[in-house]
Amino acid sequence: MAGNTVTPTASVKLLLNGLEKLEAGTGVGPVDAAVNAVKRALCGVADVRLEEYHVDAITGGTSALVEVWVTMALADRKITARGAGADIIMASVEAVLEGINRLMQLEEEKRLA
């Protein structure tokens, strides 16, 4: 057998409408797995799409700080959100969650208008 046989997995615990939701996901890498876990947690709540993903190293070395930019979409709206930190996975999830929260807030404002 050749190659890597490990399947990247991630679990997330989110608070959705006052209820705690625990989900897991798999992916081609740890960031993909974490984003898929977030999507599973949102299933039936919002059909949010990750359209662009960009990472920049802010500092150098193996303990570098990273900045993650994502473009998220919900229905006909798109927004850009950001996360930063020493852990690329957490910075990525932070950016995705910021984008989701902003999109859902915009949808709620639109619904109430």
Q: Does residue 38 sit within a domain?
A: yes
Question: Taking Cα atoms as reference points, which of 26, 7, 28, 10 lies closest to residue 93?
Answer: 10
pLDDT band at 60 (very low <50, low <70, confident <90, very high): confident
Average pLDDT over residues 58-80: 93
Average pLDDT over residues 57-68: 91
Question: Taking Cα atoms as reference points, which of 51, 41, 9, 49 lies closest to residue 26?
Answer: 9
Percent over 90 (pLDDT), the chain: 69
pLDDT at 2: 63
* Greatest mean pLDDT range, 60-64, 91-95, 102-106: 91-95
Task: Report the CATH number at residue 42.
Answer: 3.30.160.270
How many domains does the chain divide into? Answer: 1
The letter for the amino acid at 62 is T
Average pLDDT over residues 45-49: 82
Q: Does residue 3 sit within a domain?
A: no
Q: Give the domain range for residue 36.
A: 9-112
Q: Does residue 2 sit within a domain?
A: no
Q: Does residue 1 sit within a domain?
A: no
Q: Does residue 60 sit within a domain?
A: yes
d(CA 53, CA 34): 13
Burial of 73 (0-12, 13-18, 19+ CB in 10 A): middle
